[in-house]
Chain A
Amino acid sequence: MLREKLNQLFTLYDPAIQTIIAEVLTLEQAYISMKTPHLKEPIDQIVTRIASKELERMDEHKD
């Protein structure tokens, strides 16, 4: 499947990066038929969510 192939492109990258890319790609694909979709909010939500998890992970490692 094309989706798998796309995600496989990024296996050498950090898991957090991979997750963001995978989710953003899915989001973009859903709105691909719109010329200029407004995706600033949903993308920010995705990034914030992944970043928060990273922050938690970092804090845990500190303690």
Chain B
Amino acid sequence: MTDIVNIRDTVTIDEAAHEIYKQLTEGSNLLEAPFKTMKDVFMFATCLGVKLGIKRQLTIKKLTIFRWAQFDSQTDIPMLKAIAIADTDDVSVLLRRNDILTIAEEYANAGIYELRASLLEEYGQPLWNLVSIVSQGIN
């Protein structure tokens, strides 16, 4: 049973991952904390999850880090929709924002740890590690 008022507006992450999000965005040093917004981190984490094919359900301890409105309608939202379609093999998922969100959140919940590993735990400053990931694209 769908209740129209329950279309989710918030994007949530596991409390445990919050630290990583903060590390990648806080401070004025863009070489160390390259991301400008949480949303950017989230999109990256999601895509890493998708690329590696790993998902992870959120636990009970979670928190909201930004809202749906923050997503760019030209780039982010189509991306999330594409991911949802690829994940479910079902086109009608396009009509269910909640599902699109949940799928993205679960990919992100796995991908965030990969992101930490590739950016913060490798030699070199995080920004350059990021550049190399982006440049390489397909591994």
A contacting B, Cβ–Cβ less than 8 Å = no
Which positions in A face B, CB cutoff 8 Å? none
Which positions in B face A, CB cutoff 8 Å? none
